[in-house]
Structure 1
């Protein structure tokens, strides 16, 4: 029996799809090898981590949109642009560790500088206790002077965009991020409701990325950007606020297309309680309308995942994702459905279905243990009892 062969026992289990009673999960090395849904304890003498009858096992959470390079401070852009690579890496290590301690065992990093997240991928490969598994995008593709241009991903023209996708693939990125619309953090760039790239540009990026086996995540606030990103075939829409020059104008026909095509929508949810929430000026007047749209997307059957956008301000520390369960609950989403958005459904988006986002034989031993009733209490996911990453207990 391997030295790191053990079993975890708890009073209930959410396996990424449904909740059940007492369970015992057998781990060998970095994988789950057996799940006993009767809750019987092993008879072979292996070590048992018994967390008690009020504990609930669930898969490690997946945050589909983070920025480890942003420090979650009041001036995240200034902090990033003034930091050396070594200082920025030190911060990113701490940010990753913070996420892991909250039970977030996988993250999509959708925008860094100088491909620094790839350095962390290498560091964490043999040391899973250091942080979550990172799916890096590298510097996001943006227009000259466009949203987040300071990350170094400025590119225009179909040929140059295709070449930029190839470069990210060659470096080992796991996803391509493109700024289809403007954003809120970059002075001088176009406002978030306006498009930065046209349909031909988006198609070129999607075609090249899919040819190389990479998914595409499109930052898209404006309705036109959302429509063209969907038409181009992106895998996920980030933010999806349906902004126009006059406010929020959710397009019901476009939502139907999103649902029918199965395009994932990565909703920006999860806020740190106690922090004064000051939305960007472009969004401040429209928060309720945006939240209504988010609720409707879920109600109408869209593939909803949660991307916290961790790092972009004080309300977005890198451990904030679990608060998204309560955010979705306030929109009328059942807590277990919210948890699916952070586990099994997020794993599908990340092309890690079967390995992440579920508790089943053959899956990674990324396991979060919380205390409480997950079915009825969204806050239970915040009461962390233990975290296992690739079979290593880190908390």
Structure 2
């Protein structure tokens, strides 16, 4: 690809990619929509460097709802959040060293009525009252008890009453099927405990479910990585909606664009415009973060293989600093 061929650039990176230069530094490069990590835990990372490394917005999928609600609305990165994990009594992630009590709510009653102690509606209503945009439920059968079908249904019903999707952490045999058949909107991780059958994956895709990638967390577990990559490739092939997410805070992961996660998405078949769409979709919000762009200085990539390392050089800048060089 010519370094100055806008058509070839958009063919490689999608219709919103553009050649540009940055007035503040004089650098030439490529502008992209503001990139988003759709699965992070901000209480476990230094969020102040996310923008320096290309991430303009995040979705916190398990944190203290009070602390999240107190964040400045115009801060960077822009944050959408689930608030606390909803789980069964003693269920995941209760008792984990990384999961203080403030980020866990044990749901012990399937009630859809407000104010019932331990009730499903009570837990969902609390997260909504603190400004949550999505509800997170833990279906981790490998780590203890999980909400029963009635409780899961009550969580979903109440969340939909607030206009919020429900994301599930699914882990353990049969948990992905429970989430798909139970009407969960989003899987917080690509299923990794087992290879799913094609009919179930197609059902998830045609139902409009979203899957957040988080492939790189399995880089030291070939079996889980193989399951997750195969499942995600099939889901994408059926037209399923994929979101880039890293589970940032889970072990040693780069704070910013994760080149390994990008390469893993490519190995599952997401390249070109599909890859950038997965990284820039504003879910669970409807509009992108305003007034900023992700900017990658220097020569644009020439092939798909160049893209992961190239994206790792990205930074977030105000759009007013960028002037188009497209001709």
Q: TM-score range by the shorter chain?
A: 0.7 to 0.9
What CA distance in whole angstroms lies between the structure 2 residues aligned with 1:216 and 1:223?
20
Whether contact under 8 Å (1:118, 1:136) holds in the other structure is no
Q: Secondary structure in 1 aligned to 2:83? A: coil
**Counterpart in the other structure of 2:225:** 287
Question: Are 1:177 and 2:136 an aligned pair?
Answer: yes
What CA distance in whole angstroms lies between the structure 1 residues aligned with 2:195 and 2:18?
44
Question: Are 1:201 and 2:198 an aligned pair?
Answer: no
What CA distance in whole angstroms lies between the structure 1 residues aligned with 2:264 and 2:130?
36
1:273-312 pair list within 5 angstroms? 278-279=220-221, 285-312=223-250
Higher relative contact order (Cα pairs below 8 Å, separated by 6+ residues) = 2
Question: Are 1:351 and 2:285 an aligned pair?
Answer: yes
C-alpha displacement of 1:211 = 0.7
Whether contact under 8 Å (2:38, 2:212) holds in the other structure is yes
Which one of the candidate residues 270, 277, 282 is aligned to 1:340?
277
Alpha-carbon deviations, 1:306-339, whole Å to 9, x = none? 220000112x243254542222223343243212
State how many pairs are aligned. Answer: 298
**Counterpart in the other structure of 2:316:** 387
C-alpha displacement of 1:181 = 2.4
Question: Are 1:255 and 2:193 an aligned pair?
Answer: no
**Counterpart in the other structure of 1:267:** 213
Question: Are 1:153 and 2:105 an aligned pair?
Answer: yes
Unaligned runs of 5+ in 1: 1-9, 25-46, 72-94, 184-188, 357-362
Whether contact under 8 Å (1:181, 1:197) holds in the other structure is no
Q: Secondary structure in 1 aligned to 2:146? A: coil
TM-score w.r.t. structure 2 length? 0.80
Whether contact under 8 Å (1:367, 1:388) holds in the other structure is yes
What CA distance in whole angstroms lies between the structure 2 residues aligned with 1:237 and 1:178?
10
1:1-395 pair list within 5 angstroms? 17-18=14-15, 22=19, 48=23, 51-53=26-28, 55-71=29-45, 95-113=46-64, 115-120=66-71, 122=72, 125-126=73-74, 128=75, 131-150=76-95, 151-159=103-111, 160-182=119-141, 189-190=143-144, 196-222=146-172, 224-241=174-191, 243=193, 248-270=194-216, 278-279=220-221, 285-314=223-252, 316-343=253-280, 346-347=281-282, 349-352=283-286, 355-356=287-288, 364-370=290-296, 371-374=298-301, 376=303, 377-378=306-307, 379-384=309-314, 386-388=315-317
- Are residues 270 and 289 of structure 1, via their aligned partners in 2, closer, same or farther at CA, if it must alter by over 3 Å? closer
TM-score w.r.t. structure 1 length? 0.67
What CA distance in whole angstroms lies between the structure 1 residues aligned with 2:63 and 2:92?
13
C-alpha displacement of 1:372 = 3.5
Whether contact under 8 Å (1:146, 1:196) holds in the other structure is yes
Whether contact under 8 Å (1:221, 1:241) holds in the other structure is yes
Alpha-carbon deviations, 1:368-390, whole Å to 9, x = none? 11134346221211123x42258
- Are residues 301 and 154 of structure 1, via their aligned partners in 2, closer, same or farther at CA, if it must alter by over 3 Å? same
What CA distance in whole angstroms lies between the structure 1 residues aligned with 2:65 and 2:258?
25
The Cα RMSD (Å) is 3.0
What CA distance in whole angstroms lies between the structure 2 residues aligned with 1:153 and 1:258?
27
- Are residues 198 and 253 of structure 1, via their aligned partners in 2, closer, same or farther at CA, if it must alter by over 3 Å? farther
C-alpha displacement of 1:118 = 2.5
**Counterpart in the other structure of 1:27:** none
Unaligned runs of 5+ in 2: 96-102, 112-118, 323-327
